Amino acid sequence: MQNLYNKLIELSESRQYPFHMPGHKRNTDSTPLKGAFQCDITEIDDFDNLHDEEGIILEAEERANRLYGAHRTYFSVNGSTAGVLAAVSASVKSGGTILAARGSHKSFYHAAFLRNLNIKYLPNKTDNELKIPGVYSKDDVENYLDDSVEAVFITSPTYEGKCSDIAGIARICHERNIPLIVDAAHGAHFGFGKEYDKEQEYSSVPQNAVKQGADIVIHSIHKTLPSMTQTALIHISDYKGLADEVKKYLRIYQTSSPSYVLMASIDLCMEELEKNSDSFIKNLLDYRNAISVKTSGLHNIAIAGADIIDDPAKVVIFDRTGTMTGKQIYGILREEYSLQLEMAGEKIALAILSGWDSEEGIDRLIQAVSEIDEKIQETKINTETSVNNITDGKKSAEYPLADLKLSEAWDKTSEETLLQEANGKISGDFINLYPPGIPLIVPGEVFSEELIEEICGYLDEDLNVQGVVSKPGGTGYFVRTLK
Ligand SMILES: Cc1ncc(COP(=O)(O)O)c(C=O)c1O
């Protein structure tokens, strides 16, 4: 089967002249990004159309579909964001009700806003030791389902690599005749490879959510597979004509000029999986197991193991003595060791691995965390006191209660309020800790003292809090509340 990239290269080497968009005319002198511009075209003859695919794009989507085992797979050139928007819109009628975890990605809330949905929340499941979102069992979901719920939305794996019981939750949903949407943005590598050495901490990657019975599964292939940023897949089961509904909304939420560079990247990534997924996953497991083995003797720094983190691609680094915050570990790795991690949380620093990492990179990470561990040990011996303990049992604030529906609140006029004076007021905007982009408060929810304290803590730690602005001259932090 010819891949999209080869067909684009064939075109670029042919005599065919582009009297069409884009404006660079495939002239590589117009840019230093030569290869990308060579493949960047619009929907010309023989190159199909993402929004109404019947040729080479359909074939490419079918290849992806065979790999993941869905009824239908669509490409997204607008990330999992477009996938989540389309999945939620397709599954719940306008003004309807969806059951979801409060710790869902902001794209879920944006979908709820656009479709004027009522959100029913699963209970908050934060892991209080590492301060990372927890996961859900089938009983959690069953206990919160009622006749108003039209679909269930679960994030699995989480950003940090924890998985919910998707097979069990899918069964419960199907007994109720409603679809299960799984935001598996971080799990595109799941289900590949074999079961390798069982003696090792990680011997395989978890099963993919499509095979576990979910009805719509969204994968950001750019996050854990070799594909360009923005590329994603949406897999749909043959449940109640959902595939056609999802397509309808993808046409709305995606650009009418989808990038052939991005689509070729998706197709090449699928070809790579088709040919080399076993060695890709074997490399990933080898890298992750080496990290576990070589850091197992550390006294202070710990890497969360397979008992906590299901996904071997996620390396959750924390200081079990509480000497260092996640942000401090992240900062030292970046400033002193030139290792750029994915994100820092209150307690953890998160590194993402893939089968395309290098041994040199993995060795540098192991060496760096070992040296940080030694430094903490020295500090403890020198001071002979218990060091600045940030793990003093401070619990994350409970998610705030909603006073108003999200879509009503976000449409109302809001005003700037000093964060310290926001207690009891209704939020007019989202406040997100980024990454991972899970809202701390959504429009319509009420600020509490605990939440304000938690936000101040993140700001003090210099974490990236979106939706809070500081004024020049240091007059404080402001949020938006309803008038
Ligand atoms: C859980 C989750 N869902 C959805 C998304 C959106 O993915 P994308 O960046 O591919 O649009 C993200 C992005 O970080 C995410 O973490």
* Domain layout of the chain by residue ranges: 277-383, 406-482
pLDDT of residue 382: 59
- The rounded distance, in Å, linking the Cα atoms of 213 and 190 is 14
pLDDT tens-digit readout, 330-385: 999 999 999 999 999 889 999 999 999 999 999 999 999 999 999 998 877 655 43
Reported as a pLDDT band with limits 50, 70 and 90, residue 422 is very high
One-character DSSP codes across 56-100: HHHHHHHHHHHHHT-SEEEEESSHHHHHHHHHHHHHS-TT-EEEE
Mean of pLDDT over the chain: 92
Position 389 pLDDT exceeds 50: no
Q: Which two tokens stand for residue 57?
A: 């794009």
pLDDT of residue 402: 77
The CATH code of the domain at 277-383 is: 3.90.1150.150
CA–centroid distance, 29 to ligand 1, in Å, is 34
pLDDT of residue 385: 38
CA–centroid distance, 105 to ligand 1, in Å, is 7
CA–centroid distance, 81 to ligand 1, in Å, is 6
* Cβ proximity of 419 and 452 under 8 Å: yes
Burial class (CB in 10 A: 0-12, 13-18, 19+), 456: middle
Q: Pick from 271, 276, 273, 221: which is nearest to 4 by CA?
A: 271
What is the phi/psi pair of residue 110, to 5°? -65, -40
pLDDT tens-digit readout, 426-436: 999 999 988 88
pLDDT tens-digit readout, 84-94: 999 999 999 99
Q: Who's near 368: CB < 8 A, 6+ residues apart?
A: 332, 333, 336, 337, 339
pLDDT tens-digit readout, 448-464: 999 999 999 888 888 88
Structural fold of domain 406-482: Ornithine Decarboxylase; Chain A, domain 4 (3.90.100)
What is the phi/psi pair of residue 425, to 5°? -90, 160
pLDDT of residue 463: 83
pLDDT of residue 349: 96
CA–centroid distance, 96 to ligand 1, in Å, is 24
- The rounded distance, in Å, linking the Cα atoms of 109 and 122 is 15
pLDDT tens-digit readout, 299-309: 999 999 999 99
Q: Who's near 89: CB < 8 A, 6+ residues apart?
A: 111, 114, 115, 245, 249, 252, 253
pTM of the model: 0.92
Mutate to test the pocket of ligand 1, among 74, 76, 80, 162 (most ligand atoms within 8 A of CB): 80
CA–centroid distance, 220 to ligand 1, in Å, is 7
Position 323 pLDDT exceeds 90: no
22-26, 329-333, 437-441: range with highest mean pLDDT: 329-333
Reported as a pLDDT band with limits 50, 70 and 90, residue 82 is very high
For range 3-18, the mean pLDDT: 93
- Using CB distances shorter than 6 Å, the residues near ligand 1 are 79-81, 84, 105, 107, 155, 159, 183, 185, 220, 232, 436-437
pLDDT of residue 125: 86
* Cβ proximity of 358 and 366 under 8 Å: no
- The rounded distance, in Å, linking the Cα atoms of 406 and 444 is 5
Q: Which two tokens stand for residue 188?
A: 């595109």
pLDDT of residue 30: 83
* Cβ proximity of 309 and 316 under 8 Å: yes
Reported as a pLDDT band with limits 50, 70 and 90, residue 437 is confident
Q: Which amino acid is at 265?
A: S
